[in-house]
Amino acid sequence: LNITKREPLPNKPVSSVLRLGATTSANISKHADNTHNSTSSAQKDTSIDTNAIASTAKHAYDDIESAVGVTLFSCDHVIPPDNLIALAVGVGPTGKRLSFTYENRQKIDTIDELGRLVLQTCRRVPDGVVCFFASYDYATFVYERWETNGMLKTIAGTKTVCG
C-alpha cells in the first residue's frame, strides 16, 4: 500500500484521505521501475522495487531474504519521518479488546469496533490516515462490513476513502 498524491475532490483537501489496503511481501513488485534504467537486464530480473511506508520495506524484505540473488532497491519515502506515526492499539473506543487473531478477525463486533476506532482517528488526525490489513481479502471483508453498517459513509464524512 502506498500513499499517493491525488487531485483533491470537490470540497475535500488532498490531505484528508483515508486509504485502505494490505501490506505483505506479496505486494512487492519483482520488476525494475523506470528509474532503474542503468540496471542491466540480468539485474532487473532479480530486483525488488519497494516503496513502502517507514519500516514496512524492511519487514517485507526480511520475509523474502532467503531468495537467492535478490537485490533490494528502496527510495526515500515521500513523508518525512516526523509526519508519520504507526500505532498498535489493543482496545477500541468502547473498551472492547481488539484481537485480530484468526478466530476473532471475522467477528462483526470486532470489525465494528475497529470502524469506531478508525472514525475517531479520522476525526482527530488533520491529514491523511492509512490502515493496513493482513490481506486484500480481509480488507475487502472489513470494507464491505463498513458499507453495510454505514460506518464507511460516516468515515467518508471526515476523509475521502480510497479502497
Q: Would 8 be classed as within a structural domain?
A: no
How many domains does the structure of the chain reveal? Answer: 2
What are the start-end ranges of the H helices in 22-135? 41-44, 56-64, 108-124
Residues facing 49 on adjacent strands: 29, 73
- What is the reported pTM? 0.57
Tell me, yes or no, whether 118 and 49 share the same domain: no
Tell me, yes or no, whether 110 and 63 share the same domain: no
Q: Would 2 be classed as within a structural domain?
A: no
Residue 65 near residue 40 (C-beta atoms within 8 A)? no
Instruction: State the cell numbers at 111.
Output: 470489525
Cα separation values, 93 from 24, 29, 42, 98, 110, Å: 27, 37, 52, 10, 11
Tell me, yes or no, whether 100 and 141 share the same domain: yes
Instruction: Indicate left, alpha or beta for 54 from its phi (over 0: left) and psi (-120 to 50: alpha).
Output: left
Which residues form the domain of 95? 17-23+81-162
Q: Would 7 be classed as within a structural domain?
A: no
In this predicted structure, what is the pLDDT of residue 128? 84
| pLDDT of 98 higher than 80 | yes
With vertex at residue 41, the alpha carbon angle to CA 35 and CA 47, rounded to the nearest 5 degrees, is 60
Averaged over 134-143, what is the pLDDT?
Answer: 92
Tell me, yes or no, whether 133 and 158 share the same domain: yes
Q: Would 9 be classed as within a structural domain?
A: no
Distance CA 102, CA 136 (A): 15
In this predicted structure, what is the pLDDT of residue 51? 41
Tell me, yes or no, whether 70 and 86 share the same domain: no
Tell me, yes or no, whether 67 and 88 share the same domain: no
Tell me, yes or no, whether 98 and 144 share the same domain: yes
| pLDDT of 143 higher than 60 | yes
Tell me, yes or no, whether 63 and 110 share the same domain: no
Read off the pLDDT of residues 40-85 as tens digits, 9 standing for 90 and up: 444 333 333 334 444 455 555 565 555 545 555 556 667 777 777 7
Question: How many other CB atoms are there within 10 angstroms of residue 111's CB atom?
Answer: 22
